[in-house]
Amino acid sequence: MKNLSVRIISVKIIILIFLAFNAEHKIQAMTKHDPQQNRDTAWFAGGCFWGMEYQFKKIPGVISTRVGYMGGHKENPTYEEVCSGTTGHLETLEVVFDPQKTTYEELAKVFFEIHDPTQADGQGPDIGEQYLSAVFCKNEEQKKTIGKLIRILQEKGLDVVTQIRDASTFWPAETYHQDYYTKTGGSPYCHIRVKRF
How far from 117 is each of 46, 66, 82, 108, CA to CA, in Å? 8, 21, 21, 12
Q: How far apart are CA 41 and CA 105, in angstroms?
A: 12
Q: Is 190 a catalytic residue?
A: no
The single residue of 48, 83, 137, 190 carrying the catalytic annotation is: 48
Q: How far apart are CA 17 and CA 2, in angstroms?
A: 23
Closest listed residue to residue 118, CA positions, set 82, 85, 163: 163
Q: How far apart are CA 156 and CA 114, in angstroms?
A: 17
- Which residues are tagged catalytic? 48
